């Protein structure tokens, strides 16, 4: 039988707080077994699943998206390199989008230093390409009646 790890051991080895591990379990991302005392015990493959969750979050995936991906993997063993590769392949587009967004932010900062306009119709940082105009006039972004630009 595989060695079971305590929540403290999993937390230390994964770098994820025990409270987050309990939350991940509640959301169906990871699973534990219960010892006779009722304490959680985790199989070693959970460490790779947690690493997947952490990296997927850094890419910008929501927990429900991550759960859908993890549901495609075997729960009783560590996934293979091919399985991980298949699941993470589409992340490239998201990473490229985030890089482009950060580059726009860097460019915008250069032109905005000292500006202080905070004008939603002109500010390249708060409202790129005047996206807020599509929702009508007025302070819609602040009133919660439209999606924020």
State which residues form the domain around 118.
Answer: 93-133
Q: Same domain, yes or no, for 64 and 79? A: yes
Q: Look at residue 140 in the predicted model and tell me its pLDDT.
A: 54
The alpha carbon of residue 55 and the mean position of all alpha carbons in its chain are separated, in whole angstroms, by 7
128 is a domain residue: yes
Residues 78 and 120 grouped into a single domain: no
* Whether residue 10 is found in the same domain as residue 81: yes
Residue 143 lies in a domain: no
Number of domains in the chain: 2
pLDDT of residue 131: 67
Regarding whether 15 and 44 lie in a shared domain, the answer is yes
Calpha distance 111→117 (Å, rounded): 11
Does residue 120 sit in the same domain as residue 70? Answer: no
Which pTM does this prediction carry? 0.65
Give, for all 149 residues of the chain, the pLDDT tens digit: 458 999 999 999 999 999 999 999 999 999 999 878 888 999 998 998 999 899 889 888 899 999 998 888 887 777 788 988 888 888 888 889 889 988 887 876 666 655 555 555 566 666 666 666 677 665 554 444 444 44
Evaluate whether residue 48 is within a structural domain: yes
* pLDDT at residue 50, as a whole number: 93
85 with 13, same domain?
yes
74 CB contacts (<8 Å, ≥6 apart)? Answer: none
Q: For residue 145, what pLDDT is reported?
A: 44
Cβ distance 146 to 140 under 8 Å? Answer: yes
**Domain match, 100 and 121 both:** yes
**Same-domain status, 11 and 78:** yes
Kindly state whether residue 141 falls inside one of the protein's structural domains.
no
Q: Express each pLDDT in 9-24 by its tens digit.
A: 999 999 999 999 999 9
- Please give the pLDDT value at position 126: 64
Beta bridge partners of 4: 43
User: Quick one: pLDDT at residue 122?
Assistant: 61
Question: Does residue 77 share a domain with residue 21?
Answer: yes
- Whether residue 71 sits in one domain with residue 9: yes
Is 33 domain-assigned?
Answer: yes
pLDDT at 119: 58
The pLDDT value recorded for residue 11 is 96
How confident is the model at residue 137, as a pLDDT?
A: 65
Task: For residues 64 and 118, state if they share a domain.
Answer: no
Whether residues 37 and 105 share a domain: the answer is no
DSSP state of 2: P
In a domain, 140, yes or no: no
């Amino acid at each position: 039988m595989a060695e079971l790890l305590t929540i403290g051991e999993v937390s230390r080895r994964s770098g994820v707080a025990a409270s987050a591990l309990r939350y991940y379990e509640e959301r169906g991302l990871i699973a534990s077994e219960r010892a006779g005392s009722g304490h959680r015990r985790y199989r070693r493959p959970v460490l790779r699943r947690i690493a997947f969750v952490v990296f997927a979050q850094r890419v910008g995936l929501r927990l429900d998206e991550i759960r859908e991906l993890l549901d495609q993997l075997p729960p009783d063993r560590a996934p293979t390199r091919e399985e991980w590769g298949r699941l993470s392949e589409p992340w490239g587009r998201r990473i490229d989008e985030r890089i482009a967004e950060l580059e726009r932010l860097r460019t915008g900062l250069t032109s905005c230093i000292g500006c202080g306009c905070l004008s939603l119709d002109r500010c390249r940082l708060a409202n790129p390409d005047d996206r807020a105009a599509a929702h009508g006039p007025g302070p819609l972004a602040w009133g919660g009646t439209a999606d924020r630009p």
